[in-house]
Each structure stands twice: as C-alpha cells, then as structure tokens.
Amino acid sequence: MTRFQKALRSSIGRKWVMALSGLALCGFVLAHMAGNLQLFAGPEKLNAYAKGLQDLGPLLWAARIGLLSVFAIHVATALKLAAENRAARPQRYAVTQHDTSTLASRTMVLTGLLVLAFAVYHLCHFTWHVGASDAIAKAVAPDAYTLASGGRTKDVYAMVVLGFRSPVIALSYVAAMAVLALHLSHGVSSVFQTLGCTSPRLECARKWAGPAFGALVFAGNCSMPVAVLAGMVGSEVR
C-alpha cells in the first residue's frame, strides 16, 4: 500500500474525502437550484433549459454517474466514520453537556440520511413520476410543449406547477430543505477547518459560510413550492 492509499484510509484522509465530496455536492446543489429558478422566467425558458439538458445525451449520463459516485462515496464514508466514532466510546456518560457543538454538528448523520431519503423521494416524484395524476402524465409526454424554436418537448413547467399545487408535497419539500440547510450549515463551515485554513482574517467566513450557504439554498429552493402554492407562479397551467 502506498503512502497515499494509506492516507486515504486514515482519519484525516477520510476527513478530506468528506470535505471534497461535500464541496462537489454543494456545487451540484447550487447549479441545480440556479437551473430550477428559471421557473420564475416562465414555461418557455424552463422547458428549453430542460430540453437542453436532455439533449446532452452521453454527457448527461457521464454527469449523472459522476454525481452518483460522489454521493455514494460521501454517504459510505460518513457511515463508516460514524460507526467508528460510536465504537470509540463504548460506555456513554451518565451526564453530557454541550458547549461548542451545535444541533447541526451533532445530527450530521441523521440529517444526511434524511437528505438521502429526500433525494430518492424527489427522483420518484419529478423524474420517474411515481403515482402521477393524469394531468401530470399528460404534461410529461414528450410532445406536450411546443418551444418557440418549433421543437416539441416535455412540459416541465406544468409538471412542477401541478406537483407543487399539492400543499402536502410543497410542504414536504420545504421541510426537506430545512434539513438540508441544517446539514450544510455545519458541513460548509467545516470545509475551512478540514482543508487547513487557519488565517485569522477568514475567522468570520469560517463561522458564517455554512449558515449563509444553508440559508441561501433554503431560500432559493423553497421559493419555488411557496410561490406555486401562493398562486404567484403558474396561473396559466390548468
């Protein structure tokens, strides 16, 4: 085993794996959110964007496999670390007090698994259309929408609007984003420590980057179900 392979299995090596895979996933979360926010720009923009992604073909599959691998590495490493950490203290304390650890830092495994469960739910909902109503099934037909360019594509816009008109579904997305925000608030701030940033000038960034990023993702992603539910978006979809 080379020095590098051994390092990858060490506690700090895996800390780096968690930080770098987490950063990659943060990149995905941001890009996914930026793309979806085109909901506010109307059906033409969003549907053209969705078709553009579909038309990437093999590139799209490469991105999907890459994303899935990073996700799997992040989750598998976390579960292994968490199991080791539990085993490192076989006898619990009768009394525990928390000082600097936060709700977010202590619940990373739980919030992470909830985000994983949400990702599966989200795919079932918007990608595989499990249990979709007739209206949604009609919207996701490959020729449901005619673009300004003349091409025909799925009506992703109508699908999202119809989906989020259900208060239960819209609120489940808001709840999931709250969990994700909590996860990010510890994760993103931790990246600075893990990657060895010790500059006193970045002390403030270290502390607030996580909560700020979590709040941004929460606000951006929740704006869509909330806007649909409030009737501010999608009034043209019947």
Closest among 194, 231, 145 to 22, alpha carbons compared: 194
Task: Kindly tell me the burial class for residue 37, based on how many C-beta atoms sit within 10 Å of its own C-beta (0-12, 13-18, 19 or more).
Answer: middle
Given the structure tokens 């059906």, which residue do they identify? 43
201 scored as a contact of another protein (CB under 8 A): no
**Residue number with CB closer to another protein (93 or 128):** 93
93 scored as a contact of another protein (CB under 8 A): yes
Write the DSSP symbol of residue 92: P
**Residue number with CB closer to another protein (101 or 149):** 101
65 scored as a contact of another protein (CB under 8 A): no
Closest among 177, 192, 149, 179 to 22, alpha carbons compared: 192
149 scored as a contact of another protein (CB under 8 A): no
**Residue number with CB closer to another protein (198 or 235):** 198
89 scored as a contact of another protein (CB under 8 A): yes
- Pick one of 84, 146, 219, 232: the residue that binds another protein (CB under 8 A): 84
- Which residue stretch of 67-75, 119-127, 166-174, 196-204 sits at the interface with another protein (rule: CB under 8 A)? 196-204
- Which residue stretch of 37-45, 155-163, 185-193, 220-228 sits at the interface with another protein (rule: CB under 8 A)? 185-193
Using CA atoms, how far apart are residues 28 and 179, in angstroms rounded to an integer? 17
- Interacting residues with another protein between 7 and 36 (CB under 8 A): 7, 10-16
CB 76, min distance to another protein, A: 14
Using CA atoms, how far apart are residues 190 and 15, in angstroms rounded to an integer? 10
Residue 187 has, within 13 A of its CA and on its CB side, a CA count of: 25
Size of the site for another protein (CB under 8 A): 42
CB 199, min distance to another protein, A: 9
Distances in Å between the alpha carbon of 51 and those of 39, 47, 121, 143, 157?
14, 6, 23, 11, 12
Using CA atoms, how far apart are residues 226 and 119, in angstroms rounded to an integer? 19
Yes or no: say if 136 and 127 are a contact pair by the CB < 8 Å rule: no
**Residue number with CB closer to another protein (11 or 127):** 11
Q: How many residues does the chain have?
A: 238
Interface positions with another protein (CB under 8 A):
3-4, 6-7, 10-16, 81, 84-85, 87-101, 105-106, 108, 186, 189-190, 192-198
